Structure 1
Amino acid sequence: MESLARIAALETEIAQLRHAVTARATVDQAMGVVIAYAGVTPETAWEILRDVSQHTNTKLREIAEHIRQWPHCEWLPDEVRHALDAAVPARAASAPATGHVPDR
């Protein structure tokens, strides 16, 4: 019985890790969209995504999914668009101008 419980726990952990990897890939792709859109560093793109998430009271991975799809569907929910339009200049103004995007 103990081994069955252990197997079930490991299967649950594997499912959680798969979900985390998928969510991280979505966030990374959304960061790329923000970098291309705003001309910011990866660190600033992360901060922008976090700001949009906090200001819309929406999970970051959901914001990332909207922004990841934005170049293809050319649409963002109004609330996300307004929060992004506010976050980009606020973060870009406070970010150091490096002239290049550093490696991650």
Structure 2
Amino acid sequence: MSAYAVARLTDVVMGPEIVEYIKRIDATLEPFNGHFLIHGGPVERLEGAWSGDLIMIGFPNMESARAWYASSAYRDILPLRTSNSKGDVILIEGVSPDHRATDILNAVAA
């Protein structure tokens, strides 16, 4: 099952450290078949309040996502981001193409 690293970053300081992080992150993703699906950009707010930038990176499975985040290559650059931004980061599994909203009711009932 596909998995995703999702971040909502705020208060990003676009200085030399973030630039270095951006230049180096792609190489950390390659060994784990990770790729950007969303990388900031303008949003069209439909409901609620929204601030910050949304980033979503896709992986073939949760094991690959975890291995990427724990890798020494990513850990080496992580402080470049965390020292220059605030935000939340999660790993989450995707759903199958035939998933329906009501499928979650079965999980809740169990």
Assess same fold via TM > 0.5: no
Q: TM-score, normalised by structure 2?
A: 0.30
Q: Write 1 or 2 for the structure with the bigger share of strand.
A: 2
- Compare CA radii of gyration and give the structure with the larger one: 1
Q: TM-score, normalised by structure 1?
A: 0.31
